[in-house]
Amino acid sequence: MALDIDQLTVRQAVVGLRTGAYSSVALTQAMLEAIATRNPAVNAFVWLDEADAMRQAEAADRARQAGQQGVLLGVPLAVKDVLNVDGHPCSCGSKILRGYTALYDATAIARLRAAGALLVGRTNMDEFAMGSTTENSAFGPTRNPVALDHVAGGSSGGSAAAVAGGMALAALGTDTGGSIRQPASFCGCVGLKPSYGRISRYGLVAYASSLDQIGPITRTVADAALLLGVMAGRDALDATTLDQPVPDYNAALTGDLRGLRLGLPREYFVDGMDPEVAVAVRAATARCRELGAQIVEVSLPHTRYAVATYYILAAAEASANLARFDGVRYGFRATGEGAPIDMYKQTRAQGFGCEVQRRIILGTYVLSSGYYDAYYLRAQKVRTLIRRDFDAAFAQCDALLTPVAPTPAYRMGETMDDPLHMYLGDIFTVTANLAGVCGLSVPCGRTAGGLPIGLQVLGPAFGEERVLRVGHAYEQSRQGEAL
Amino acid sequence: MNYLPSVGLEVHVQLKTNTKMFCGCTTAYGAPPNTQVCPVCLGYPGAMPVMNVAAIRLTVLSGLMLGCRIGAHSKFDRKSYFYPDMPKNYQITQYDQPLCLGGGLVIELGGQTKLIRLTRIHLEEDVGKSTHYAGCSGVDFNRAGVPLMEIVTEPDISSADEAVAFLLALKQTLLYAGVSECNLEEGNLRCDVNISVRPEGTGKLGTKAEIKNMNTFKGVQAALKYEVARQIRCVAGGGRVVQETLRWDPDLGETFSMRSKEDAHDYRYFPEPDLLPVVLADAQIEAWRATLPERPAERRARFMHVYGLPAYDAGVLTAERGVADFFEATARLCGNGKAASNWIMTDVMRLLGESGRSVTQCALTPEVLAELILLVERRTINLPTAKGLLPELFEQAGRPAELVATRGLGQVGGEDEIGRLVEQALAANPRVVQDFLAGKQAAAQALVGQVMKLSRGKADPQMAGRLVAERLAARQGGAAVS
Ligand SMILES: [Zn+2]
């Protein structure tokens, strides 16, 4: 009988492989079959090399027979199309990287590989991680496997859809303003954005360097803890990683919340929020109180400036980060006559999609002489205020409980003509990136229409143990309930 | 009306590090194109820079040599512009918080000294090198990411000769500090020249034009002379100098406009988010300062004072740090600064010049030269013998004392012995003696030469000369009596 990976967690797979209940080849075969059946409707994967996946699985099985171990030995993982995996394409959902093949492994990938994991396929994303719906992709939109007429969220929509849609046990995403947490919330899975500097960004194609972080999208909080433990830690190739010890995140999963103070930021429960989201998050808060936590109200007064601040800083950094895509050394190059500058213009005009061009232009504008002080510099100052808001809040409580997004998943196409509407949907997630703190998205119910709703747990910088403990205890308390 | 030029330089210096500024690629010069590259220095997607601390150290050392203040808190920024030789289409450089601030360098010209003030020194990455062919262009990224230090002067320079004097003094200082090879042919040193002119008596600087990318000192001199004259002609004729970027054509000997102020780039600087700010502890700066060599000017003054050398000689000996070190070690070992100076300034420098080698590339060491000097001083050998040995000792290692012993080169020393040789010479050359006695003074020198020949060059020429003179005088006296 074929192996069913619909609900299988990474931890269960690790046990199954170790005990010999099944081989990595069988597990990977099951994954490839699930992708073959389900991906056409969802479009979570944009590239897959089945032979390459099977070669990795065979090697893992041989390694196990040879007595080798590894916390993830033989476990296949899906990878967002923005992380470099040696020998695989890395197109960032863009036409401009057509034909580019990665020459090296990102550090996070190298660490997963060293732990025995298999890197299978490339998951869809908003082009260069710019978007909240995974509709802005050169490979077409990803659909939400829970409700196919809805978006999967973004920008790591392909990863969330693969995990929620039974095509991957777990996947890697990246989060610059909510790109892991929001799609996890929209699709009903767990998503962790670690603190800035916790996981190396080396090999992550940069969108906004001071905000980007790699993180896992999983089916359980325990799986997120497991993958974080493998990827975390100082990396000599990324100067912004911190030399903080990597704790045993699994040990943090105590199952209770006794002695914890959890804060509800006043500014995150606003008018205009979807009432079903508000109800679900309030109920989750009550559940946390039952689990032993003390609930306090706190304030993050500069929250209302966060979206504007985020779009100025992210666009500014992106305008420089994406300058390298010029057709000179790799990827797509427009053909035609003219000077090099004309080749650049044509390549970039044809290679980048609308949203990317919009943000490059915005970023170029806010850095231009005469506007720098009014926009970029001012946004940096507000960023400092937002960071201080969190410092003050975490002086009063151990972690914060908030909604991930003000609404459940949008309908397909709903935000395409109204980017501002989409930008405002990032209001509860961008703050964590601006402040450099960590955040976890955990399913906390569904709307009457069956759309998943996510609870966000925010913790201080390098406070992943706390958010995992809270998310895990809450998740365990709801086991058996329909989420 | 008289017009005064004001010139400022921006000198780009490639630092002498083993690896590039942000990756592990080698900085060696001359390899085939694009063989010393990696994802980082090619600007591949996802690659990130990691700071090479050696580049920071060499920049701070340069700043300390040039009297700069070292910034307590320094950072890196991105400078954006599109060009095929820029892998990321932004350059990592330092905008408003450079590593070194202020400082200056004293130049000497026509016996006058003048301080040229520095504005700042910052660190940045070099770009690739474009080569243009008929119908296409190529880019070599071997140079991309090599650490580049930019030294910016105040507009204190007032002539082409001063500019060259400054560049020479700067090169000397940087070579002393060991921060760069300063090899112009390999592009280690390049500069941009800012020029303006103003009527004498006015304080306000005129509108400046900038000549980009000069890579020879001769070029700087010629371009500056041309451009100053052009600007004076322009202003004196009632025109106005346009703020623009110029290119110097060495073949035509003229400057050409590359772009005007209106087309100037907006570089859109902002802090580099991939690198942490550089915060240097005082203890670190002091530890680096402790490794600094003496500055060339100070060393020159000390050589004059301690070794009693004339200013010119001290200048020649301190022009290169290697030569100065060689001189000083030799002088200490033999205890005779004058002799060491004479040997190095004449024979050693000639051999260096002929062989095209530096003082550290030849077999001759201060120990060997000092031994040679002492052998002459103690009259074990004479000076011509010593000078005859030098080319050999320059080429291959050897001990002068051993060579003298094994080859029997020791000086024929005693007055009796040389006296006998003088008698022999006089006896063998009666006609020369006759010439002398007939009033031909130069004949004495020929007789000394004969004595040297008889001693197979080993006689003390001074003693030989004295004894020849004595014997001839005796004969002269004798002749007068008879
Ligand atoms: Zn490199």
Q: Which of B270, B275, B278 to mutate to test the interface with A (most CBs of A within 10 A)?
A: B270
Maximum pairwise Cα distance, chain B? 108
Q: Is A276 part of the contact surface with chain B (CB cutoff 8 Å)?
A: no
Sign of the C-alpha dihedral computed for residues B408, B411, B414 and B415 taken in this order: positive
d(CA B116, CA B11): 13
Tell me, yes or no, if A340 comes closer than 8 A to chain B by beta carbon: yes
Give yes or no for B256 touching A (CB within 8 A). no
- Please state whether the peptide bond connecting residue A132 to the residue before it is cis, i.e. omega within 30 degrees of 0: no
> What spacing in Å lies between the alpha carbon of A43 and ligand 1's midpoint?
37
pLDDT at B480: 45
Whether the CB of B166 is below 8 Å from some CB of chain A: the reply is no
Rounded to the nearest 5 degrees, what angle is found at the Cα of B308, between the Cα atoms of B306 and B312? Answer: 115
pLDDT in tens, B266-294: 999 999 999 999 999 999 999 999 999 99
Residue A42 near residue A165, CB atoms below 8 Å: yes
Task: Determine the average pLDDT of the residues in B16-38.
Answer: 97
Whether B163 and B275 map to the same domain: the answer is yes
Contact between A475 and A442 under an 8 Å Cβ cutoff? The reply is yes
- Pairwise CA distance, residues B164 & A359, whole Å: 48
Residue B434: in which H helix or E strand, if any?
A: helix B430-437
A367 reaches B (C-beta below 8 A): yes
Q: A174 near A204, Cβ under 8 Å? A: yes
DSSP codes, A329-368: SSS-----SS-HHHHHHHHHHHHS-HHHHHHHHHHHHHHS
Distance from CA of A371 to the nearest CA of B (A): 10
**Mean of per-residue pLDDT scores for chain A:** 96
Q: Does one domain contain both B396 and B425?
A: no
Look at B459 and B147; give whichever has higher pLDDT: B147
Q: Which of A24, A80, A137, A159 is catalytic?
A: A80
CA–CA separation, B235 and B227 (whole Å): 12
Task: For residues B306 and B348, state if they share a domain.
Answer: yes
Comparing CB atoms, the residue among A83, A237, A239 nearest residue B276 is A239
B275 interaction partners in chain A (CB closer than 8 Å): 239
Alpha helix segments (H runs only) across B148-187:
160-177
The active-site residue out of A155, A156, A319, A441 is: A155
Q: Which of B258, B287, B316 is the last residue of a domain?
A: B287
Residues B182 and B266 in one domain: yes
Same domain membership, residue B153 and residue B95: yes
Range of the domain at A198: 1-483
**Mean pLDDT of the region B393-418:** 81
Same domain flag for B235 and B105: yes
The Cα–Cα gap between B390 and B392 comes to 5
The dihedrals phi and psi of A373, each to the nearest 5 degrees, come to -65, -40
pLDDT at position A118, please? Answer: 98
Instruction: Quote the pLDDT of residue B471.
Output: 85
Both B271 and B311 in one domain: the answer is no
Residue B441 has pLDDT above 50, yes or no: yes
Q: Once rounded to an integer, what is the mean pLDDT over residues B19-36?
A: 97
Residue B468 and residue B445: Cα distance in Å, rounded?
9
Q: Which residue has the tokens 């912004």?
A: A240
Q: Minimum mean pLDDT among A420-429, A437-446, B49-58: which range?
A: A420-429
Task: Identify whether A80 is a catalytic site residue.
Answer: yes
Task: Name the residue facing B46 among A203, A240, A364 (closest C-beta).
Answer: A203
Whether residue B216 contacts residue B17, with contact meaning beta carbons closer than 8 Å, is answered with: no
Contacts of B237 (CB under 8 A, 6+ apart): none
The pLDDT score that the predictor gives to residue B208 is: 94
| Pairing label, strands A171-175, A76-80 | parallel
ipTM of the complex: 0.95
Per CB-CB distance under 8 Å, the chain B contacts of A340 are: 83-84, 137
State the pLDDT at residue A302.
97
Give B 134-153 residues with CB within 8 A of chain A: 137, 139
Contacts of A368 in chain B (CB under 8 A): 266, 268
Cβ count within 10 A of residue A386: 24
Separation CA A75–CA A56 (nearest Å): 10
Mean pLDDT along residues A115-123: 98
pLDDT over threshold 70, residue B440? yes
Using a CB-CB cut-off of 8 Å, the residues of chain A touching B47 are: 104, 202-203
Whether residues B62 and B199 share a domain: the answer is yes
From the CA of B123, how far away is ligand 1's center (Å)? 17
What is the CA(B273)–ligand 1 centre distance, in A?
Answer: 19
**What pLDDT score was predicted for residue A483?**
62
Q: Report the gap between the CA of B88 and the closest CA in chain A (Å).
A: 4
B340 pLDDT above the threshold of 50: yes
Rg (CA), chain B: 31
Measured CA to CA, the distance from residue B304 to residue B311 in angstroms comes to 6
Strand (E) or helix (H) holding A201: none
Residues of B in contact with A326 (CB under 8 A): 82, 84, 89
- Find all residues with CB under 8 Å of B297, minimum gap 6, and list them: B106
Whether B117 and B148 map to the same domain: the answer is yes
**Domain with B462 in it:** 415-481
Strands (E), B267-308: 270-271, 278-279
Give the pLDDT confidence score for residue A309 in this predicted structure.
97
Distance CA A378, CA A479 (A): 46
Q: How confident is the model at residue B453 (pLDDT cuts 50, 70, 90)?
A: confident
Number of structural domains chain B divides into: 3
Q: Residue B187: CB partners within 8 Å, gap ≥ 6?
A: B14, B129, B143, B215
Task: Give residue for tokens 């300062």.
Answer: B289
Report phi then psi at B356, rounded to 5: 70, 20
Q: Cβ–Cβ of B82/A317 closer than 8 Å? A: no
User: What is the spatial distance between Cα B151 and Cα B66, in angstroms, rounded to a whole number?
Assistant: 10
**Average pLDDT of chain B, as a whole number:** 92
Best mutation target among A196, A199, A237, A342 (most B Cβ atoms within 10 Å) is A237
Residue in B46, B80, B89 nearest the CB of A326: B89
A328 vs B1, more confident: A328
- What pLDDT does A52 receive? 98
Express as a percent the part of chain B with pLDDT over 70. 98
Selected residue of B48, B81, B82 to mutate for chain A interface (largest A Cβ count, 10 A): B48
- Percent of chain B at pLDDT > 90 equals 70
- Report which of A289, A258, A274 is spatially closest to residue A401, judged by C-alpha positions: A289
CATH number at residue A312: 3.90.1300.10
Q: What is the pLDDT of residue A38?
A: 98
Say if CB A61 and CB A73 are below 8 A apart: no
pLDDT of residue B332: 94
Strand order in the sheet with B270-271: B90-93, B77-80, B270-271
Asked if residue B462 and residue B326 are part of one domain, the reply reads no
- The verdict on a CB contact (< 8 Å) between A341 and B82 is yes
pLDDT digits (tens, 9 = 90+) for B359-371: 989 999 999 999 9
Asked about A193 being catalytic, the answer comes back as no
Q: Tell me: pLDDT of A1 over 60.
A: no
| Average of per-residue pLDDT across A415-443 | 89
With the CA atoms of B116, B117, B120 and B121 taken in that order, what torsion angle do they form, in degrees rounded to the nearest 10?
A: 30
Q: Which is the catalytic residue, given A24, A179, A185, A195?
A: A179
- Of residues B334 and B462, more confidence is placed in B334
Going by the DSSP 8-state scheme, the letter that residue B432 receives in this structure is H
> Among A139-143, B101-105, B351-355, which is the least confidently predicted range?
B351-355
pLDDT digits (tens, 9 = 90+) for A315-349: 999 999 999 999 989 999 998 777 878 899 999 99
On whether the CB atoms of residues A203 and A177 are closer than 8 A, the answer is no
Instruction: Quote the CA–CA distance of B372 and B367 in Å, as a whole number.
Output: 9
> Which one of B383, B407, B431 terminates a domain?
B407
Which DSSP helix (H) or strand (E) runs through A446?
strand A438-446
Quote the pLDDT of residue B413. 65
Pairing between β-strand A261-265 and β-strand A147-151 as defined by DSSP bridges: unpaired
B437 shares a domain with B386 = no
Are B418 and B467 in contact by the 8 Å Cβ rule? The answer is yes
* Distance of CA B40 from the midpoint of ligand 1 (Å): 5
pTM value?
Answer: 0.90
Contacts of B39 in chain A (CB under 8 A): 103-104
- The one-letter code for the residue type at A477 is S
What do you get for the CA distance between the two ends of chain B, in Å?
84
Determine the distance in angstroms separating the CA of B133 from the nearest CA of chain A, rounded to an integer: 14
For residues B315 and B429, membership in a common domain is answered with: no
Say which residue, B188 or B416, is predicted with more confidence.
Answer: B188
Q: B273 CB near a chain A CB, below 8 Å? A: yes
CB of B78 closer than 8 Å to CB of B69:
no
CB contact under 8 A, B39 and A103: yes
Q: How far is the CA of B43 from the centre of ligand 1 (A)?
A: 9
Interchain contact, B88 vs A344, CB within 8 Å: no
Q: Residue A384: which residues within 8 A CB-CB, separation 6 or more?
A: none
As given in the structure block, the two tokens for residue B130 are 């474009």
Residue A482: pLDDT band (50, 70, 90) is low
**Residue B466's CATH number:** 1.10.10.410
A126-171 pLDDT, tens digit per residue, is 999 999 999 999 999 999 999 999 999 999 999 999 999 999 999 9
User: Residue A204 gets which letter from DSSP?
Assistant: B
* Interchain CB distance below 8 Å, A324 and B49: no
Instruction: Tell me how far apart the alpha carbons of residues A158 and B82 are, in angstroms, rounded to a whole number.
Output: 33
Separation between Cα atoms, residue B139 and residue B132, nearest integer Å: 9
Contacts of A92 in chain B (CB under 8 A): 45
Q: Which residue from A84, A323, A329 is facing B46, i.e. has the nearest CB? A: A84
Q: How far is B165 from chain A (nearest CA, A)?
A: 37
Interface test mutation site (partner A, options B132, B274, B275, B276, max chain A beta carbons within 10 A): B274
Q: Active-site residue A179, yes or no? A: yes
Task: Print burial letters for B407-427: b (CB count within 10 Å at least 16), e (below 16).
Answer: eebebbeeeeebbebbeebbe
Q: What is the pLDDT of residue B478?
A: 57
Mention every residue, 6+ apart, whose C-beta is less than 8 A from residue A68.
A116
Q: Check B51 against A316: CB less than 8 A apart.
A: no
| In contact, A319 and A358? CB cutoff 8 Å | no
Of A103, A201, A364, Cβ closest to residue B48: A201
Q: How many helices (H) and strands (E) does chain B have?
A: 16, 17
Confirm or reject contact between B276 and chain A (CB < 8 A): yes
Cβ contact A104–B39 (<8 Å): yes
Nearest to A329, CA basis, from A343, A318, A342, A315: A343
User: Looking at CA atoms only, how far is residue B197 from chain A in angstroms?
Assistant: 28
Inform me whether the C-beta atom of residue B78 falls under 8 Å from chain A C-beta atoms.
yes
Number of structural domains found in chain A: 1
- Please compute the mean of the pLDDT values over residues A93-122 and round it to a whole number: 98
Exposed / middle / buried, residue B406 (Cβ in 10 Å: 0-12, 13-18, 19+)? exposed
